Amino acid sequence: MNHLRCRTDILIVGAGMSGLAAAYKLTQSGREVLLLDKARGVGGRLGNRRFDGAIFDHGAQFMTARDDLFKDLAAGWKDKGIIKEWRDGEPVGSSDPRFRGSPTMSAIAKELGQNLATRLKSPVASIEQIGEEWSVTLQDGEHIQAKAVLMTPPVPQSLAILDAGNISIPKATRQRLDQIRYEKCFAVMALLEEPSRIPHPGYVKPEKGSIAWIADNQTKGISELPAVTIHATGEYSETNWERDRDEVARELINNAQEWLGSSVVKFQIHGWRYSKPATISANRCEIISQDPLLLIAGDAFSSARVEGAALSGWAAADTLLELGSNS
């Protein structure tokens, strides 16, 4: 649901899990919030792709729920059929249940964002302070005024936007933000001629080599057709980032053959430049300015998980509510 306006109480840049969680909490608290995102849909790495009748989760494959508040939220989603347990309780690496979105991971983002004021395909160019407010300039030249701003894109992207507006960042804060690094990740989506050899519940994590993870979207219950998502390791993705993408995809498919056991009918490849943080901040969010309010949040401020991104968004929302009421 898109709401066009040129002024808002709180502007949130990025409609991934952190931005959605923050916007949801702030809206529930009665604050006027506008979400901006450069993509065509909400969710960020809670994304899916479809082609030739096949459906793929090509970003985050599952989520966990360990924090009590997040467990409550997840329980509500499970009751609504938004998420389903994926593992059937099997003790694979952890006793924490894993949940997949139903039908895809994007269902989680759509549920959070269904009643939020959101503008998609609206990339932000810069932010600058004008008086007691922020002026956010979109790449198409439009300006949006806001009393407070929350940045939730990957940290390097947020810093580039702030630097474009010559926003002053406290030295210690800047040092912490500059130390945050992300892993790159190639995601290959392959439509298979026959079902894969990947065992129930539909994933395999090779112990070595170029592949970090292979998920069977058919076994997961996402795709009616045989379809797998292959995630490359961070090391492989970093080393091969500038290579021809189709060449990379074919190489990864070849390396995955022992688990695929079928010829590939068609494939696509996506490069996640900021797939997950390789370093995590000790803070749940960072305050860039208190007057007017400007914060940064995201999965790099809690943990490299869907739940961690939500917890950071909630922490930022709490900070905005607390500091905003004191101003």
Distance from C-alpha of 150 to C-alpha of 292, rounded to nearest angstrom: 11
* Res 1: pLDDT: 39
Taking alpha carbons only, the member of 2, 302, 38, 243 closest to residue 160 is: 38
Average pLDDT over residues 75-81: 96
pLDDT at 274: 95
The verdict on 187 and 264 lying in the same domain is yes
| Same-domain status, 172 and 239 | no
Within this chain, do residues 296 and 199 fall inside the same structural domain, yes or no? no
Residue 63 within a domain: no
pTM of the entire structure? Answer: 0.92
Q: Return the bridge partners of 209, or none.
A: none
Whether 187 is covered by a domain: the verdict is: yes
Residues 130 and 267 in one domain: no
> Which has the closest alpha carbon to 188: 150, 227, 155, 154?
227
- Helix crossing, 306-326 with 17-28: angle to 10°? 40
Q: For residues 20 and 134, state if they share a domain.
A: yes
Residue 66 is assigned to a structural domain of this protein: no
Residues 298, 311: one domain?
A: yes
Q: State the pLDDT confidence band at 88, using cuts at 50, 70 and 90.
A: low
What's the average model confidence in pLDDT over 201-208? 93
CATH at 234: 3.90.660.10
Q: What is the pLDDT of residue 115?
A: 92
190 and 270 share a domain? yes
Q: Are residues 138 and 273 in the same domain?
A: no
Is residue 115 assigned to a domain? Answer: yes
**Among 237, 259, 277, which residue terminates a domain?**
277
Identify any residues that bridge with 267 across adjacent strands, giving them in sequence order.
190
Pull the structure tokens for residue 51. Answer: 């082609």
| CB-based contacts of 68-72 (< 8 A; 24+ apart in sequence) | 69/314, 70/307, 70/310, 70/311
Contact 320/295 with Cβ under 8 angstroms?
yes
Task: Judge whether 172 lies within some domain.
Answer: yes
Phi and psi, residue 125, nearest 5°: -95, -45
Residue range 293-303, pLDDT digits in tens? 999 999 999 77
User: Quick one: which H or E segment has residue 277?
Assistant: strand 264-277
Q: How far apart are CA 228 and CA 266, in angstroms?
A: 11
**Does residue 293 contact residue 149 with C-beta atoms inside 8 Å?**
yes
Name the residue range of residue 225's domain. Answer: 182-277
| Cα angle, residue 90 at apex, residues 231 and 186 outer, rounded to 5° | 5
How far is the C-alpha of 324 from the C-alpha of 294, rounded, in Å? 11
Q: Does residue 252 lie in a domain region?
A: yes
Residue 122 near residue 38 (C-beta atoms within 8 A): yes
204 and 273 inside one domain:
yes
Residue at 15 is within a domain: yes
Query: What percent of the chain has pLDDT above 70?
Result: 95
pLDDT digits (tens, 9 = 90+) for 119-147: 999 999 999 999 999 999 999 999 999 99
Q: In the structure, what pLDDT confidence band is assigned to residue 97 with cuts at 50, 70 and 90?
A: confident
Confirm whether 69 is domain-assigned: no
263 shares a domain with 221: yes
CA atoms of 190 and 168, how far apart (whole Å): 45
> What is the average per-residue pLDDT within 188-204?
95
Is residue 94 pLDDT above 90, yes or no? Answer: no
Q: Where are the alpha helices (DSSP H) in 124-223?
A: 155-164, 171-178, 217-220
Whole-angstrom Cα distance, residue 190 to residue 203?
14
What are the structure tokens assigned to 29, written together?
Answer: 């608290």
Q: What is the pLDDT of residue 3?
A: 41
Does residue 197 share a domain with residue 262?
A: yes
Q: How many domains does the chain have?
A: 2
Number of helices followed by number of strands (H, E) in the chain: 10, 17
